[in-house]
Structure 1
Amino acid sequence: MINQAVFAMPQESETPHTEDSYAQWKEMAKDAAEEEDVARAISFAQRYIQESLDLEFARSEAFSDFYDDPQFQQFQNSYLVKGRWGSLVYIYAGLIGLFIVVMFNLQPKQDRVATVLLSILIFIHAFFIIHVGLHSMNYDLYYPHLYSSSTIFSLLYGPLLYFYFKRIKTGYRFKWRDLLHLAPTLVLIGLFIPVFILPADEKLKIMLGVGIYQDRAYGLEISSGKMLSLIIYSFLTARLFFRNKNKITTPEYLPIWKWQRNLVSFQVLFTLVYAIYLILLVTNQLTGPFFHLQLITLSGMVLYVAYMAYTNPKTLLGYQLEASFLKYKNSGLTNSFSNELKDEMIRLLEEEKIFQHNDINLNTISERLGTTRHNASQIINEHFNLSFFELINHYRIKEAKQIFEEDVAGQKNIIEVAYEVGYNNKVTFNKSFKKLNQLTPSQYLKKLRQETP
């Protein structure tokens, strides 16, 4: 399943595909069942299913006496949907991955390039996990267009994570020559096109071993290419991470560093597990534990990314975030002094409401804090994750909303409120208010009055 591939030359079926032949094998299977010959019944039933594509025949009442027979149960498990808790867990993890991909791209203030790279990586991991889960439950037999749909992404895992790190660690801008990293995947897609354009019945026949193409040809070649790709790009990614291991002591940077370290660790672990799995597969050893360990590793990575996106979404800012920490790396501002300045700034904003002064600027803030303009800017960026003007606007709009809520009757008009919270004109107030609330002040007031009894 992990490495299905396409099929260079069509092959001829040994048996003519006619309704008479379908009926012949079906009747012979039933006759064998009446004679209580399990092996012959299974053999004839398989031939009937392969030609007729009637998968449900495996649960026919004609075989009711064999339902408890281990050999017949194995036959049924080849054609019928089967419930597996482990597969459902994988599918659940994959669905979380698809959900988090959507959430990534709804986040404001992000590095769009880094987000797209990470989104694609999580998408193909999630899709692969779901695909394997459905395959292990035989759903691909009932939805043949799923056939080999995840295999074309096999050579993308490494390049996507590598360029994601290149972006978030160095702010790398893509060049046309970088498209060469997609060349192996494009070749793989080209090989699969003849299969992808087949109708569903033809794909099902391939899976049943009677199609015009051989099932899972070139699987070893694709698996070997995937292993080589993972090894090369895992090395490049790890080297990039350690070469750009910035010595930043700011506590707020620690989660970012751990995020990057853990992503590299997941990739290296997956590469190691996959390499062992492939070696066992080639040498005809037991592969089951390492097959599932692959899925557990990928599921763990998907769930970890989902967790980080929920608990610390600023990790999605990529190089913008890294650069902001580097900017203040040598400022000399100690952690204790930094926290003291943050607390004093909150007091100035929430108690003294310094934002109400329409001439407020960064110099004024730094003077009131008794520190430099550079330190004041650092405090705002590190503790509030905002620029100076964004912080002031945040508090001004928050104050305006409180005034509106206390003055629902409208004794104060909008321009009066704008002046009161520190704006010089109504236009700027309206733009700032709508940006933060998706409503203009008048729309917000109208909504408040409708909700007020």
Structure 2
Amino acid sequence: MEITAVNLFYLFSMFIGSLVGLVLIYFGFQKNHHNILLGINFLFLTYISLIVWLITSGYYFHFPFLYRTGNVAGFLFMPLMYMYIRMVLTGRALTGKDLVHLLPLVVILVDFWPLFMLDNVEKQALIQSEISNPVLFTSYSQSRFFHFDFYTPFRSVVLAFYWILSAILVWTNTKKQDTKGFAKEWFIWIKIFLGLELLVFFPFLLLFWAIDPILNFLLVHLTVVLLTIVTGFALLFSPKILYGMDQNLFEEQSIKSKPERNETLSEQKTREIESKLEEVLDSEKKFLQHGYSIHSLAADTEIPVYLLTLYINHHLNTNFSDLINQKRIAESCKLIESGKYEHLSIIGLAEMSGFNNRNSYTLAFQKFKNVSPSAYIKSQRKKA
């Protein structure tokens, strides 16, 4: 492979996109599950950058099994990014109804299924006949149901649709939030993301009838690469987003900002949530997991975040962080009172109780027991 500035540019974008995507997914499993969705989106962006590079460099011929898969990633990225934004701002988890967002993807899969099933030799022949002309290569002329140039404008229209939905969500929620911590960083980052995403489709929709097809191809795909680099690189300097820090407080504030009419639960739903929380928290003691978040609780109970938050706020008169920390401190006291863990230091007790560090453990202990862990341990030893 010839090392050129263009190659380095594309390779750098793929490195940043894959790195950020994998970090988001890893910490999404550790802390906040919504980050998994964002991480997957970055991997899709990285994949699209890979496809663009293979086309412009001419290396696509050596990867025939990837033929016509760029749009598949694109039609997955568009709705998933909107659903990520919706999850962060509303706490609404994914449901079966969200499968409707995959309809454009189903259309292209059905349309091009015979093409996807071709062997690699046949795909190489098609690539060889098109690779010299990027516009022809991306026109999806093998469509069985639509005009040869249907998918290029259709893709931009679908992206515009989800961009508008996302922008409305961000706009209507910006003024409702206390812009500190996670909220401040997230709103700045998402506005940068939406601004760059606008450049991916807006020039095409505005000038597709006048602009040179080759230039249009280069501009659209260049903005995808820039979107990956700029927003991915920004996340590396935004730890509260990248690692999900302060996310729970942000979601609690989001729920509190909703209209009063949404802040009620039926008796049946209340009993259901109470039963699930007793099973997950009291019986299984999931709160002992490090980094246990309200998204983790939602996944374990199969109850949406916003309903959990409403129940915890209005029926338990507390918030998620205090609920979990209170249970951790109660568990820690049991460990101390048992006398079996006298060999453990304060840090050891903190880790066994689900806390990430000594400081957060000590503050929580003081809050719920009105005494420091050290003083409590001494008092228990005197009793013994």
For the aligned pair, the TM-score class normalised by the smaller chain equals 0.5 to 0.7
CA–CA distance in 2 between the matches of 1:289 and 1:422? 55
- Equivalent pairs: percent with the same residue? 18
Matched ranges for 1:111-260 at <5 A: 111-112=32-33, 114-209=34-129, 216-217=140-141, 218=143, 220-249=149-178, 251-252=180-181, 253-260=183-190
Structure 1 equivalent of residue 31 of structure 2: 110
Give the direction of change, closer, same or farther, for the CA distance of 1:304–1:279 in structure 2 (3 Å limit): farther
Describe the SS at the equivalent of 1:163.
Answer: helix
CA pair 310-244 structure 1, distance change in 2 beyond 3 A: closer
The 1:386/1:302 distance shift into structure 2, 3 A limit, reads farther
In 2 relative to 1, CA 231–205 (structure 1 residues): closer, same or farther, beyond 3 Å?
same
CA contact (8 A) 1:96 1:306 kept: no
SS in 2 for 1:287: helix
Q: Is the 8 A contact 1:280 1:286 kept in 2?
A: no
**CA offsets 1:273-304 (integer angstroms, 9 cap, x no match):** 443574455x6574366245423432335524
1:93 and 1:139 map into 2 onto residues whose CA distance is 17
Q: AA paired with 1:235?
A: I
Q: Which residue of 1 aligns with 2:250?
A: 322
Match of 2:310 in 1: none
Match of 1:269 among 188, 199, 205: 199
Unaligned runs of 5+ in 2: 131-135, 258-312, 334-338, 359-384
What amino acid maps onto 1:225 in structure 2? Answer: F
* 2:16 aligned residue: 96
Structure 2 counterparts to residues 275-286 of structure 1, below 5 A: 275-276=205-206, 278-280=208-210, 284=213, 286=215
CA displacement 1:199-254 (0-9 Å, x = unmatched):
221111112239xxx96405521111111101111111111111122444453232
Deviations 1:366-393 (A, max 9, x none): xxxxxxxx9xx99x96xxx996459979
**CA 196–302 in structure 1, closer or farther in 2 if over 3 Å, else same:** farther
Instruction: Specify the SS of the correspondent of 1:270.
Output: helix
- Mind listing any 5+ residue stretches in structure 1 that lack a counterpart? 1-80, 330-373, 397-412, 438-453
C-alpha separation in 2, matches of 1:290 and 1:429:
53
Rounded to whole Å, the distance in 1 between the matches of 2:241 and 2:96 is 33
Q: What is the rounded CA distance, in whole Å, between the counterparts of 1:220 and 1:142 in structure 2?
A: 25
Indicate which of 217, 220, 227 corresponds to 1:298. Answer: 227
Deviates more, 1:136-145 or 1:124-133: 136-145
For the 8 Å contact 2:14–2:46, the answer to whether it is kept is: yes
- TM-score normalized by the length of structure 1: 0.52
Change in 2 beyond 3 A, CA 1:324/1:134: same
Residue-pair matches, total:
281
**1:261, distance to aligned residue in structure 2 (A):** 2.4
- CA change 1:159–1:386 in 2 (3 A) is same
Distance of 2:192 and 2:102 partners within structure 1: 25
Aligned 8 A contact 2:14 2:50 in 1: yes
Q: Which residue of 1 aligns with 2:378?
A: none
Is the partner of 1:416 in helix, strand or coil?
coil
TM-score, structure 2 as length reference: 0.60
CA–CA distance in structure 1, aligned partners of residues 99 and 246 of structure 2: 24
Whose radius of gyration is greater, 1 or 2? 1
* 1:180-217 superposed Cα distances (whole Å, 9 cap, x missing partner): 1101101112222222222221111112239xxx9640
CA distance in 2, matches of 1:178, 1:429: 40
Query: CA separation in 1, counterparts of 2:355 and 2:172?
Result: 44
Aligned equivalents of 1:127, 1:422: Cα separation in 2? 43
Give the CA deviation at 1:143: 2.3
